Amino acid sequence: MIASRPRLGRADENAWFAALDSDEATVRATLAANLIDRTDPRAAELCTPLGFYWYFRARVTEGARWLGLARDAAAGHDPAHWVAATVVLASALATQGRVETARPLVKEVLGRLAGLEDEALIVVGEGLIALGGALWVHPDAALITDVHAGLQQIATRSGDPDLQLFTDIQGCSVTALAGRLAEAATRAEELHDEAIAAGNDAAAWLSAATPMTAALLHDDPERGIFWVRKVMRAHVAAGGTSSAGMFIENRANYETQRGSHRQAARLYAAAHTHTRRAPWSGHAALSPPTCSDAHGKLCRAKRLRTHGARARLGNYPTSWPCSESPIHSSGTGSAYTGLRAIRQHTTDTNSLSACGSRLSSQPLRATRVGAKRGHKTENSRDGHPVRTCVSAQVAATGVVIRREKSHRCCVWLILSLSSGFNTVTPQRFTHVRSVLRRVGRCR
């Protein structure tokens, strides 16, 4: 089944991903039999075609483990399989934001491209395509330039039109990182048309990402919304099932830019919901120091409440270090960044204004705020009880509170868990929600 994988971006590749989903246990058992129970030098043939599958299913961390074992097994036996496993492993590491870990692997691969046999060119070339995409998200201009040169070498040698199309698309990333973003976006739009004409969904998705990013940086939300829709459509067609939240987050960023703050807040919450629905591989638990720090803060806050003192938001554990997460966001911005932009751009008192920084510096009473529409509650903040009608949506980095009958609307940046949606694991969200329940701020 793995050997029957279609070419990258072709229409039947999505069906192949679905077949892997339906027989996932067999795939894992086969990998375990060839890499754990015994070491088979040919196991790289099983692992390298699965690189994009692991990405689309949010299992990059698991894939990196298998690829590392396959690379070790192929060392000294089959140079072509070793290079293929190494380049796909490097792309998995770069996708997680571990560019410095991937860098020496990339250097090793690029030094061995000239010695590859012809039958290995396609699989190695597709690995370099994935690697270039990861380095576009976590920009490293020098490294992506080297990767693009290697991909161009393989595309020229193979004469494969699909590889050449992907090479040209990756060249747009090189142009953009060189400071010519407008030029790169224009060329990427032309290549997007070529990808659509060729029927290659992966090429359409990757080419649309450049004008989408250019629109964000050039403060052109209308153009950005147009291109983020194209990215989402092509990404789903290519087989993606776990990244909807990331693209909805991008859409929310554009809504923030054009002043649609309520819509942006709804989209940030929807992005978190979609990410929570995505398949998750096993994640490492919170580190003991982090758990100890959270426990200490909870104990101090409890003592303050017991003695009738006012607690500050800083008395509660409100953030987790991004480095603890094995998977990092590949979006152009995080929900925290978007909500912060709302705070910076909001001047209308009837629209959303984030007060997270005020909450962290001013006294805060642990009064309960209802989470259902129409639930009336008293807010004794600032010593002025206010009868409000509120509804709450939990976003990835905050609890969005709409006060329908009050002159104030606010976004509370309470759950600043990390730099992006993909770093918010269900375990962390559940833990912080339990913290908020103790505080009495959220139900």
The tens digit of pLDDT for each residue in 75-97 reads 989 899 999 999 999 999 999 99
Res 210 pLDDT > 80: yes
pLDDT value of position 138: 81
Query: Residue 368 pLDDT more than 90?
Result: no
- Per-residue model confidence (pLDDT) at position 93: 95
pLDDT confidence of residue 318 = 39
Check residue 403 and give its pLDDT. 33
pLDDT at 407 over 80: no
The first and second tokens of residue 360, run together, are 């962290």
Note the pLDDT of residue 296. 65
Report the pLDDT averaged over residues 258-273: 91
> Quick one: DSSP state of residue 364?
B
Read off the pLDDT of residues 227-261 as tens digits, 9 standing for 90 and up. 999 999 999 899 887 777 888 999 999 999 999 99
Q: How far apart are CA 47 and CA 67, in angstroms?
A: 6
Question: Predicted confidence band at 104 (pLDDT cuts at 50, 70, 90)?
Answer: very high
102, 93 contact by CB (below 8 A): yes
Q: What is the pLDDT of residue 139?
A: 78
Q: What is the pLDDT of residue 274?
A: 81
What's the pLDDT score for residue 171? 96
**Mean pLDDT in residue range 119-138:** 92
Sorting pLDDT into bands at 50, 70 and 90, what band is 102?
very high
Q: DSSP letter at 424?
A: -
Beta strand pairing call for 353-354 and 410-412: parallel
**pLDDT-above-70 percentage for the chain:** 63
- The CATH classification of domain 2-193, taken from the options 1.25.40.10, 3.30.470.20, 3.20.20.70, 1.20.1740.10: 1.25.40.10
Which pLDDT score is estimated for 334?
38
**Can you tell me which residue has the tokens 């060189």?**
178
Q: How many CB atoms lie within 10 A of CB 147?
A: 29
Mean pLDDT, residues 180-202 taken together: 96
The answer to whether the Cα torsion of 315, 321, 324, 327 is positive or negative is positive
Give the mean model confidence (pLDDT) for residues 263-288.
Answer: 69
Torsion, Cα of 141, 142, 147, 148 (10° steps): 60
pLDDT digits (tens, 9 = 90+) for 380-391: 333 333 332 223
CB 243 within 8 A of CB 232: no
What pLDDT, on a 0 to 100 scale, did the predictor assign at position 273? 85
Burial 266-291 (b: 16+ CB within 10 A, else e): bbbbbbbbbbbebebeebeebeeebe
pLDDT tens profile 44-65? 999 999 999 999 988 999 999 9
Which of these ranges, 24-28, 312-316, 408-412, has the smallest mean pLDDT? 408-412
Q: Is the dihedral of CA 292, 296, 299, 301 positive or negative?
A: negative
Q: What is the pLDDT of residues 291-316, one digit of tens each?
A: 565 566 566 666 666 666 554 444 44
The structure's pTM equals: 0.65
Q: Give residue for tokens 């509120």.
A: 390
Which tokens hold the place of 268? Answer: 């940030």
* Predicted confidence (pLDDT) at residue 110 exceeds the cutoff of 90: yes
pLDDT of 319 above 90:
no
Q: Is pLDDT of 140 > 80?
A: yes
Q: Does residue 108 surpass a pLDDT of 60?
A: yes
Quick one: pLDDT band at residue 437, thresholds 50, 70, 90?
low
